[in-house]
């Protein structure tokens, strides 16, 4: 297989481990802390997880390894969307497994959880795994979004594990995937299969975090990748001086990516979905907020700028959420067929006008026609609007243009406004991992095997103290149930890991809030450039601005 010069060089990089994991497998001891309880709904979560609830948090330290010696046959699954560093989780798991006993075996189940159900796998060896060290992507075994959530699936998984003599499964995924890991661990424990389940925290969206999980892997690399691109756009905007760039970035459920990119690049505008919801901002108010920046800059003869838009921001606008709910109801059941049978958009518009309340129709009417039509594109499997298909960057630039046209008529605005649009999503999911993510992910995998070796199940691999050099990182584990609460999903109460939203009282947002007025009017752009792999540690190994601010550094 032909590989690039960068990949050749990255293969030489040796990931750094936390100090307590550097002493050799035989010198890693375990220390148990207090028993845990779920973040909410304790009685309900405990009832659903009687065999795995309330377990103790643990920390690894230098000392004699007291784990029972036995051959380990481990299966690993990559679940959900890609995130930079996933390959290094597998590599760290493999290296720890082989360092303990050369006879240990690592199975890679292909294309996500479905590989476990279909018994579709490969067995890792040195030659194969060495091709993927410190690289981006999930192509080492592929990923998928199949959910492990039914008794039938669990029974099949147990049979596949029994067939191969598998002693543990490691699931590398986000909040839903690790919820599935917790449910699978409970099933295996209840049925005394002897198979452990360990999770690893992955998502570039940054919303799998809490007091224990300081950062999900992939967030550092993805945000640095997006920030490089946004910085390039800022440089271009400041050179051409004639375009407003509206940049949508990933983050449907939370705005961590947008906030971090803003902290890295200092754009003129960055919307934070959580603030929009807290202030109950309307589409019109948001458009006025952006238009104020455009007008203030135009008054200084700066008819250019950059605005960052989180992918899911429209879902946080109260009036828009009501509109979506009404559209879902409007097209429920056979009514969808009646709507789709209409030949022209005018006929469909009349149908919509009759079916929406006066308030929602007023919101619908101000939307550009392209956005109106996007709301009636292909539905999701539950018949609902696929909000992720809405081009919110184009929505807000159109609304801003309308506001500016009104101001021109009133004589309060004389500038020029020309918009360009971008969406940065897939560009960041499979980038070569930063040094931080390469180290962090390798540590998560190595640490996952230590949890297996010491007999834990239903635990999440945990590396903390991440704002410090890797030598000072702390390795350990926490029960997945500690992060769970009950939420309403598809008409049923389900145990799920609580998503972490941007904290409006947190230090990262407060820093952004204190500076955004200056950024809105001035040209304060930062150009972070490409991810630095070689050079001073102060450049190459720095963590995200979000984590540094949270830790007061």
Question: Comparing C-alpha atoms, which of 371, 403, 408, 399 is closest to residue 387?
Answer: 371
Residue 381: what pLDDT? 63
Residue 368 tokens read as 């550009």
Model confidence over 417-453: pLDDT tens digits? 999 999 999 999 999 999 999 999 999 999 999 999 9
Asked if 205 is an active-site residue, the reply is: yes
Residue 235: what pLDDT? 98
Q: Where on the phi/psi map is residue 542: left (φ > 0), alpha (ψ -120 to 50), or beta?
A: beta
Mean pLDDT, residues 364-379:
87
**Are 291 and 402 within 8 A, CB to CB?**
no
Residue 356: what pLDDT? 94
Annotate 383-446 with three-state secondary structure. Answer: CCCCHHHCCHHHHHHHHHHHHHHHHHHHCCCCCCCCEEEEEECHHHHCCCCCHHHHHHHHHHHH
Model confidence over 120-179: pLDDT tens digits? 999 999 999 999 999 999 999 999 999 998 999 999 999 999 999 999 999 999 999 999
Residue 23: what pLDDT? 80
Q: Evaluate if residue 544 carries a pLDDT over 80.
A: yes
* Range with the poorest average pLDDT among 265-269, 380-384, 446-450: 380-384
Residue 383: what pLDDT? 65
Cα–Cα dist 105/121, whole Å: 13
Residue 504: what pLDDT? 98
Residue 380: what pLDDT? 66
Q: Evaluate if residue 382 carries a pLDDT over 70.
A: no
Question: Comparing C-alpha atoms, which of 19, 519, 432 is closest to residue 220?
Answer: 432
Q: Regarding predicted confidence, which is higher, 416 or 383? A: 416
Other CB atoms within 10 Å distance of the CB of residue 1: 4
Model confidence over 449-471: pLDDT tens digits? 999 999 999 999 999 999 999 99
Residue 322 tokens read as 């009501």
Domains of the chain, first to last: 66-218+433-457 (3.40.50.450), 219-429+506-550 (3.40.50.460)
H helix intervals, 57-112: 86-100
Quote the pTM value: 0.93
Q: Evaluate if residue 490 carries a pLDDT over 70.
A: no
Mean pLDDT, residues 475-500:
90
Name beta bridge partners: 31. 59
Cα 488 off chain centre by: 21
Residue 337: what pLDDT? 85
Pick the catalytic residue from 95, 175, 176, 205.
Answer: 205
Residue 423: what pLDDT? 96
Cα–Cα dist 453/1, whole Å: 35
**Are 55 and 484 within 8 A, CB to CB?**
no
Mean pLDDT of the chain: 94
DSSP readout, 512-541?
A: HHHHHHHHHHS-------SPP-SS-HHHHS
Residue 1: what pLDDT? 63
Question: Comparing C-alpha atoms, which of 471, 479, 542, 543 is closest to residue 21?
Answer: 471
Task: Count Cβ neighbours within 10 Å for each residue of 76-113 and write b for 16 or more, e otherwise.
Answer: bbbbbbbbbbbbbbbbbbbbbbbebeeebbbbbbbbbb
Residue 180 tokens read as 């599935």
Model confidence over 5-52: pLDDT tens digits? 888 899 999 999 999 998 889 999 999 999 999 999 999 999 999 999
DSSP 279: T
Residue 542: what pLDDT? 87
């Amino acid at each position: 297989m032909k590989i690039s010069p960068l990949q050749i060089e990255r293969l030489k990089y040796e990931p750094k481990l936390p100090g307590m994991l550097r002493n050799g497998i035989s010198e890693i001891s375990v220390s148990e802390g207090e028993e845990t309880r779920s973040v909410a709904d304790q009685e309900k979560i405990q009832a659903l997880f009687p065999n795995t609830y309330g377990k103790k948090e643990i920390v690894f330290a230098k000392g004699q390894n007291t784990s029972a010696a036995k051959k380990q046959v481990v299966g690993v699954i990559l679940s959900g969307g890609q995130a930079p560093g996933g390959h290094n989780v597998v590599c760290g798991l493999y290296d720890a497994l082989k360092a303990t006993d050369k006879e240990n075996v690592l199975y890679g189940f292909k294309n996500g959880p479905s590989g476990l159900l279909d018994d579709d796998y490969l067995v890792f060896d040195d030659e194969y795994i060495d091709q993927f060290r410190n690289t981006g992507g999930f192509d080492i075994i592929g990923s998928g979004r199949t959910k492990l959530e039914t008794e039938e699936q669990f029974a099949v998984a147990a049979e596949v594990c029994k067939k191969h003599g598998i002693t543990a499964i490691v699931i590398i995924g986000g909040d839903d995937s690790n919820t599935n890991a917790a449910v699978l661990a409970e099933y295996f424990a209840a049925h005394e299969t002897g198979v452990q389940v360990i999770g690893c925290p992955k998502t570039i969206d940054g919303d799998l975090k809490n007091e224990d999980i300081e950062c999900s892997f992939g967030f550092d690399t993805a945000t640095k990748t997006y920030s490089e691109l946004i910085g390039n756009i800022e440089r271009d905007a400041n050179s051409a001086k004639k375009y407003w760039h509206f940049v949508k970035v990933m983050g449907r459920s939370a705005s961590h990516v947008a906030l971090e990119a803003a902290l890295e690049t200092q754009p003129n505008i960055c919307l934070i979905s959580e603030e929009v919801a807290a202030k109950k901002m309307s589409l019109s108010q948001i458009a006025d907020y952006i238009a104020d920046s455009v007008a203030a800059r135009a008054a200084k003869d700066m008819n250019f700028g950059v605005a960052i838009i989180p992918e899911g921001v429209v879902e946080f606008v109260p009036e828009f959420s009501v509109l979506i709910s009404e559209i879902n109801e409007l097209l429920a059941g056979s009514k969808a067929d009646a709507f789709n049978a209409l030949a022209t958009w005018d006929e469909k518009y009349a149908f919509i006008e009759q079916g929406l309340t006066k308030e929602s129709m007023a919101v619908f009417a101000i939307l550009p026609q392209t956005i109106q039509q996007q709301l009636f594109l292909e539905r999701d499997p539950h018949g609902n609007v696929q909000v992720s298909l809405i081009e919110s960057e184009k929505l807000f630039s159109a609304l801003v243009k309308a506001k500016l046209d009104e101001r021109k008529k009133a004589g309060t605005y004389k500038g020029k406004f020309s918009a360009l649009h971008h969406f940065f999503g897939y560009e960041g999911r499979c980038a070569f991992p930063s040094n931080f993510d390469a180290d962090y992910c390798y540590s998560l995998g190595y640490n996952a095997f230590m949890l297996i070796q010491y007999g834990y199940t239903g635990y999440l691999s945990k590396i903390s103290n991440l704002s410090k050099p890797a030598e000072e990182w702390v390795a350990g584990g926490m029960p997945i149930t500690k992060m769970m609460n009950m939420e309403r999903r598809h008409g049923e109460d389900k145990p799920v890991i609580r998503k972490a939203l941007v904290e409006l009282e947190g230090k990262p947002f407060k820093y952004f809030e204190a500076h955004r007025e200056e950024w809105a009017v001035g040209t304060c752009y930062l150009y972070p450039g490409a991810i630095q792999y070689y050079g001073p540690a102060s450049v190459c190994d720095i963590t995200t601005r979000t984590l540094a601010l949270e830790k007061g550094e």
